[in-house]
Structure 1
């Protein structure tokens, strides 16, 4: 065997052995804890963050706590058996840069208490998760939490699914969901290297689509009444994305019912648009999905409402809280296009309580 070929084979062997050792030590093949960590679920941790760069506050240092089960909640800390309402979503549910006492879950729970009702609300939000991630939570995370038996699961979803556009007809995520026990699914769930790649890709997308945490001066943002959205993008949403999104919503409903919980879906507001007296004003700058399909703020709302309509079709109107089309959101409620300030979280918690009451879920 030529020396050069032999050297190449030796290097490849060393590389493969290294990958194998990394997977065995840090992957989720043998450790449930590693598997949850790879999926972005933080357990038994307490952090302090300086948020003065994000919004104006008299208390610039906030505390962010997760219990040993990976859940966030002051009154339910390490006590999943107390949870009446479990909240599931991405970063707008997680609220990493709000204090434990300021999240909309805490406001919702306090509002119940102020109205003489002892209801406990817990936060299972995971930064960056879409409904794909929520399904993984129902498969991998929640079943491992003993005595978790919520009466209601609030799914605060839509924004992260908005960016999951796929124009490749060979890709079928419905089929992937139906074959969740296959090798590729196991690899994605348990491989530490795949999940490092996934997180890096997610960070890149967060930067590209401005969904990461940052302060925005909305007085400098230009809004327009003119709609712009690519016709091809509308076609892709109608033919591919909505069908797959409905399949994921159906699975979330099925999981909720399997544990005797009532699923309620909350549509998400953003400041890519504002609605005043029925008139929509959207951000004027053109953004692109897949670097090809353009839209502005009003086009964004049109696409987001397609996802919302799909949720309503699958879940039914009695299980939907529509906050996307609420007219009362202001710049003071957000520090970027998506994430709430403490003021916004307080408004959000109060609105969810009100809507739950209107739907008959407050007893």
Structure 2
């Protein structure tokens, strides 16, 4: 009987092992089949692959906002087949006044509705004076001029719009290498096995993007938190402390200037006209008319609001000077944007009222320039 029981136990163990191996085999075959099918035809269209950059395409994110009264309660963020916000690329693209905006989160406007981003509002304003305008928003959260150059070389020069607008500055402060956000959409940026597999597998990429979408729907939240200047700590920096912060920037400014020059050169090489926009900031000199807070003494990243603004202005100055030297239009949004919390929900991101103000300021300088450079589209 003992022998029979032993034989029975061994047989049962083999059956379980057989089922495990068979299940793994079926899983492997199914995974391989899905990988092949998705490489031939991917109905979800989550990624657009260039030589270096990977962009999300044909996606729609709905955000339930209950924490920021300066933004809509329901925010829809849609990306088209190019991976950008805006209308699809038209069949008559070459006969359009094609414009693409490039920048970080203040260009992407992730927490503004599709029709309330400043690029979308700018397009509507341009429609009043120009015919056949097509404008897309290629802003990517956290991107600096490092990421802009990769996007430009890898993708935008192939689309070849007539004009590219660059809003740069805040993500380049004290930066001498690509940030995590610059690397996030880039092929091979992360050498670990996990990122390699996700970047190179259609199935894993699909699962990750579905999981991200589900998580976004479940959280019903937004990181676009409204920061009340009245709740921020106060900073009283000495003149010596401010001078030290400004001096520190001297090691980063030449690199920023060179990266901007490279963006200009790349555009001109491919017969694309570049236009640059300086970066505005809520903090700096003056009293916020909404909260009556002194914007100079707000503490921001361990420095005063005034010092933070002075630092950013060093980068804006590099852009202004280079634009003048190269005869390239620089729209001085930094100087013209009111320092008013009506227009900002934190130090740099725009409320719905803010995106409308940005679009108006940019349009005032851009429209005459477009009329001069593309008279056939002016009406």
Question: What TM-score does the superposition give when structure 2 sets the normalisation length?
Answer: 0.65
Query: TM-score of the superposition, structure 1-length normalised?
Result: 0.68
Q: 1:286 to 1:100 in 2, by over 3 A?
A: closer
The structure 2 residue matched to 1:121, chosen from 128, 131, 135, is 135
Counting matched residue pairs gives 287
CA distance in 1, matches of 2:264, 2:127: 28
Bigger radius of gyration, 1 or 2? 2
Match of 1:193 in 2: 195
Structure 2 unaligned residues grouped into runs of 5+: 1-34, 36-45, 179-185, 199-222, 289-293, 373-379
Query: Are 2:356 and 1:346 equivalent residues in the alignment?
Result: yes
Once residues 310 and 325 of structure 1 are traced to their aligned partners in structure 2, the CA distance between those partners, rounded to angstroms, is 14
Q: Distance in 1 between matches of 2:279 and 2:114?
A: 21
- Written as runs of structure 1 = structure 2, the 5 A alignment for 1:140-179 is 140-143=154-157, 148-164=159-175
Question: 2:108 aligns to what?
Answer: 94
Q: Residue deviations 1:82-108, cap 9 Å, x none?
A: 462110000111111111111111111
1:246–1:189: structure 2 CA closer, same or farther, 3 Å change rule?
farther
Structure 1 vs Structure 2 CA RMSD? 3.5
Distance apart, 1:356 and its partner CA: 1.6
Deviation at 1:44, TM superposition (A): 1.6
Distance across 2 between alignment mates of 1:128 and 1:296? 22
Instruction: Determine the structure 1 residue equivalent to 2:148.
Output: 134
Picking from 68, 74, 90, the partner of 2:81 is 68
Unpaired runs of 5+ in structure 1? Answer: 1-24, 26-31, 167-171, 174-184, 197-211, 289-294
Work out whether residues 70 and 345 of structure 2, in 8 Å CA contact, stay in contact via their aligned partners in 1.
no
Q: For residue 362 of structure 1, report the CA deviation from its aligned partner.
A: 3.5
- Tell me the alpha carbon deviations over residues 133-158 of structure 1, each in whole angstroms, 9 at most, x when there is no partner: 001101223245xxx22221110010
Match of 2:201 in 1: none
Matched, 1:336 2:346: yes
> Are the counterparts in 1 of residues 236 and 304 from structure 2 also a CA contact under 8 Å?
no
What's the counterpart of residue 334 of structure 2?
Answer: 324
Task: Measure how far apart 1:125 and its partner are.
Answer: 0.4
Q: Report the equivalent of 2:310.
A: 302
Deviation at 1:332, TM superposition (A): 1.4
Aligned equivalent of 1:361? 370
Aligned to 1:85: 99
